[in-house]
Amino acid sequence: MCSDRYKVSQVSEKLKYTDALADYVLIHGISGASLRPMAKAAGTSDRMLVYHYGSKAGVMEAALKEIAERNSVTLETTLPAIPMPADQLMPMIGAAMQSGMFSQSIAVFLELASLSLRGDETAKAVGQAIGEHFRDWLAARLTEPDRALELLSAIEGWGVLTAVGLDVPFPTG
């Protein structure tokens, strides 16, 4: 029984670290994330992070997936739970995206995409998992779920173009 309590404690500790790591990456980006400062921000040591996550890549993967999960939760709390047509859902997503609450996340995911394009296989795998998560999330909220990838592409394209200063309207669906 004692070992079960210990496992629960470890899981709780890891979740606390993951939350702090996500906060760190949102502020400093991927390129500004190294183990020692991340560990300090999480209130632990770099060795403990490696113990819990296996490697620096594991630490980054956990932080990035936590950021994606936070974005999902934020969208879920601002959007209706029932599936709707794209032309009704997209303006709601657009309002959330344009509010600025996702600007740090967009910057991190653009950095992740850049690393993937430069051949970082971990970045590619994590980016693919996050992309699939959002495609599936979007499909579950559409009356035309087969359009999810098309709409996700439009949303991401908007994110890239506005990030470089173009005044592009949010896609309407």
**Domain residue limits at 91:** 2-163
d(CA 60, CA 55): 9
d(CA 122, CA 65): 13
Q: Is residue 171 part of a domain?
A: no
Single-letter amino acid code for the residue at 168: V
pLDDT at 11: 60
Q: Is residue 172 part of a domain?
A: no
3 state DSSP class of 142: strand
How many domains does the structure of the chain reveal? 1
User: Residue 89's domain is classified under what CATH number?
Assistant: 1.10.357.10
d(CA 159, CA 153): 10
pLDDT at 173: 79
Q: Is residue 133 part of a domain?
A: yes
Q: Is residue 158 part of a domain?
A: yes
Q: Is residue 32 part of a domain?
A: yes
Q: For the chain, which residues score pLDDT lower than 50?
A: 1, 6, 8
pLDDT at 3: 56
CA 136 to chain centre: 14
Answer for the pair 62, 143: CB distance below 8 angstroms, yes or no.
Answer: no
Question: Taking the model in full, what pTM does it have?
Answer: 0.84
Q: Is residue 168 part of a domain?
A: no
Q: Is residue 173 part of a domain?
A: no
Interior CA angle at 140 toward 138 and 29, to 5°?
A: 35
Q: What one-character-per-residue DSSP string does 20-87 give?
A: HHHHHHHHHTTTT--HHHHHHHHTS-HHHHHHHHSSHHHHHHHHHHHHHHHHHHHHHHHS-SS-B-HH
pLDDT at 10: 59
pLDDT at 98: 87
Q: Give 171's DSSP letter.
A: P
Q: Is residue 68 part of a domain?
A: yes
